[in-house]
Chain A
C-alpha cells in the first residue's frame, strides 16, 4: 500500500507537521509520497532532503532564528491590517528580503535529490487552479507555494504567476492521490479566526477563513487519517514556533493510540 502524507498550509503552524513526522518515524512508517502547500511545502521539501524529523526541525528553526529579525518590520504592518502598501506595492515583503530564507533552506537542491517522492502545490493565478510541481529546483517551487498573496510576490513558474498553494489546496490530499497514494495521512490545523473583525479588511480575511475551512473539508474528505492540531496563533507569529512544536508533540503523544498504524484501514 502506497502511503501518502499531505501537509497543510498554515505559516508557523507548519512546525506541528514535524511532530507528525516524528510520530511516523517512531512507528517506523515511511511515507512513499509527501505533498505540501505553503508551510507544508517547506516541511515536505526538507523531509524529502533529510528524511529525519530532528534535522527538519533544526534546519527550519535555525532559518527562523536567523531571518526573523529582518521580517519583524513587516509583521508589524500585517498586524495593523491593510495599508497603502496594498496598492502601491506588488507585495508587502520585497523578494530580495525573503529569498535568502528559502535559499538557506534549500540551496540548489532539486526534487530529484529527495529521498521520497515530493509534490509541491502552488496556486496558478492564470488558470485559477492548483498546480502540482514534482520536478526542478525545490527552492522555486517551495517559495511559490509559500507566497501568501499580497504579502509575498507571486513567482513565475511554467509561464504563469504562482502564489500560495494553500489558496485552493489547504491540505493537498488530492494531489497525494494524484501521485499514486492509496492511503493518505493529512496533517492539519484549526483555521477558525480568533477575533471578530474590527474593520472591513479584517472582515474580508475573516470570511476568507471560512472559505479556507470549507475547501479544507473537500480535501479532508478523501484522507484516510487526519491529525488535527489546535494552534491558537496567526500564521505569521513565527516567534512562537517552538511552543507550537512542543504543544504538537504533547498533543500527539497523548493520542498515540488513535494514530497507531495497527488500526489503519
Chain B
C-alpha cells in the first residue's frame, strides 16, 4: 500500500495502549501513506489529535509521554473493562444500580480534558465518534468543540456519567468503519465466576464480534495483540508490524 492516498483510517480506543499510535504514523510517514480522515473513538482520539495538530509522529509521541501518567490516574478502565476484586465489584455494582452517575466524578474527566486540549475546532481530518443515547446510534461529533467531543468519547460507561447523552463508542462497537482498520488488543484471561461476570462477558463478546466484522470488511487491516500494559514499550513492535504491512512485506 506504499504511497496510497485518500484512505480513511479507523482506530479502536478501549485502552490507553492506543497511545502507541505515533509509531504507526511514523511508518505511514516513511512510506508516504496519507489519510483523508482519521476516525477514532475513546483513547485513540488523543494520539490522533496530537498527530494531526503537530503533523509529526515524533512530536505527538512527546505530547503523549507528557500526559501519560496523568491519563493513567484519571481513567479506571485504562486497559479496558475488567473486574479485579470482589470489593471492587460490590462497589461498582452498588453505585451502578443507583443512578446514571458513574463511580468516578465527571468533573474530573472534564478537568482532565480542559487541561490538555484547547477550546478549539476539531481538526478537519479528525472524526471523533461517540454513541448517542438519545438517537440510539453512533455519531461523528462534527459540531462540537474539541473539548466537548473529547469528553463525550472518553465517557466510559460505569466509570463516568454520560455527557450530554453521549458515551464512548469504544465500549459499544469498538472501532468505527474505515478503509484501514487498526486494532490494539490487550489479552485478558477471563475467569467467569458470578452472574455479573457472565453478563459483562457476553456484552464484551458482542462488541468483539462487531469489531471483527469491521476489521474483516476493511481493505487494509492491522492488529496488535499484546500482554503489555505500557504503550511506549509497545511502540517498537507497532512500528515494526506497521512498517512491514505498509511496505508490503506482511
> In the complex the two chains form, is A86's CB within 8 Å of B201's CB?
no
Indicate which residue in B90, B137, B158, B192 contacts A200 across the interface (CB closer than 8 Å). B158
Q: Nearest residue in B to A87 (C-beta to C-beta)?
A: B89
> Which of A87, A163, A203, A214 neighbours the largest number of chain B CB atoms within 10 Å of its CB?
A87
Specify which chain A residues have a CB less than 8 angstroms from the CB of B213 in the assembled complex: 218
Tell me the bound Cα distance from A201 to B200 in angstroms: 10
CB-based A-B contact count at 8 angstroms: 127
Q: Nearest residue in A to B199 (C-beta to C-beta)?
A: A150
Specify which chain B residues have a CB less than 8 angstroms from the CB of A203 in the assembled complex: 100, 133, 157-158, 162, 167
> In the complex the two chains form, is A215's CB within 8 Å of B210's CB?
yes
> In the complex the two chains form, is B96's CB within 8 Å of A200's CB?
yes
Given contacts A154-B198, A207-B167, A207-B172, contact A201 B97 (CB under 8 A): yes
Specify which chain B residues have a CB less than 8 angstroms from the CB of A90 in the assembled complex: 193-195
Tell me the bound Cα distance from A40 to B157 in angstroms: 31
Cβ proximity bits A186-199 to B, threshold 8 Å, 1 near / 0 not: 00000011001111
Interface residue range, chain B: 35 or more
Specify which chain A residues have a CB less than 8 angstroms from the CB of B86 in the assembled complex: 87
> In the complex the two chains form, is B97's CB within 8 Å of A210's CB?
no
Specify which chain A residues have a CB less than 8 angstroms from the CB of B215 in the assembled complex: none
> In the complex the two chains form, is B209's CB within 8 Å of A215's CB?
yes
Given contacts A204-B157, A207-B172, contact A84 B93 (CB under 8 A): yes
CB of A232 within 8 A of chain B?
no
Q: Nearest residue in A to B86 (C-beta to C-beta)?
A: A87
Tell me the bound Cα distance from A153 to B122 in angstroms: 47
Tell me the bound Cα distance from A210 to B167 in angstroms: 13
Given contacts A128-B205, A207-B167, A207-B172, contact A199 B96 (CB under 8 A): yes
> In the complex the two chains form, is A87's CB within 8 Å of B196's CB?
yes
CB of A164 within 8 A of chain B?
yes
Q: List 16 A-B contacts (CB under 8 A).
A: A81-B97, A82-B96, A91-B195, A150-B195, A150-B199, A161-B192, A193-B136, A200-B96, A200-B99, A203-B162, A210-B131, A210-B172, A211-B206, A214-B210, A215-B210, A218-B213
Specify which chain A residues have a CB less than 8 angstroms from the CB of B98 in the assembled complex: 199
Q: Nearest residue in A to B99 (C-beta to C-beta)?
A: A199
Cβ proximity bits B73-98 to A, threshold 8 Å, 1 near / 0 not: 00000000000001001100101111
Tell me the bound Cα distance from A219 to B1 in angstroms: 32
Chain B residues numbered 125-183 whose CB sits less than 8 Å from any CB in chain A? 131, 133-134, 136-137, 157-158, 162, 167, 171-173
Q: Nearest residue in B to A203 (C-beta to C-beta)?
A: B157
CB of B42 within 8 A of chain A?
no
CB of B202 within 8 A of chain A?
yes
CB of A224 within 8 A of chain B?
no
Report, nearest first, the 5 A-B pairs whose CB atoms are least far apart. A200-B96, A150-B199, A86-B196, A211-B206, A150-B195
Indicate which residue in B90, B96, B192, B205 contacts A84 across the interface (CB closer than 8 Å). B90
CB of A168 within 8 A of chain B?
yes
CB of A123 within 8 A of chain B?
yes
Cβ proximity bits A166-203 to B, threshold 8 Å, 1 near / 0 not: 01100000000000000000000000110011111101
Tell me the bound Cα distance from A71 to B101 in angstroms: 31
Tell me the bound Cα distance from A167 to B192 in angstroms: 16
Specify which chain B residues have a CB less than 8 angstroms from the CB of A208 in the assembled complex: 202-203, 206
Tell me the bound Cα distance from A151 to B203 in angstroms: 14
Cβ proximity bits B201-224 to A, threshold 8 Å, 1 near / 0 not: 111011111100100000000000
Q: Nearest residue in B to A81 (C-beta to C-beta)?
A: B97
CB of B13 within 8 A of chain A?
no
Given contacts A200-B102, A207-B131, A218-B213, contact A87 B206 (CB under 8 A): no
CB of A228 within 8 A of chain B?
no
> In the complex the two chains form, is B133's CB within 8 Å of A196's CB?
yes
Specify which chain B residues have a CB less than 8 angstroms from the CB of A193 in the assembled complex: 136
> In the complex the two chains form, is A197's CB within 8 Å of B198's CB?
no
> In the complex the two chains form, is B205's CB within 8 Å of A168's CB?
yes
Specify which chain B residues have a CB less than 8 angstroms from the CB of A87 in the assembled complex: 86, 89-90, 93, 194-196
CB of A32 within 8 A of chain B?
no
> In the complex the two chains form, is A82's CB within 8 Å of B196's CB?
yes
> Which of B99, B198, B210 neighbours the largest number of chain A CB atoms within 10 Å of its CB?
B198
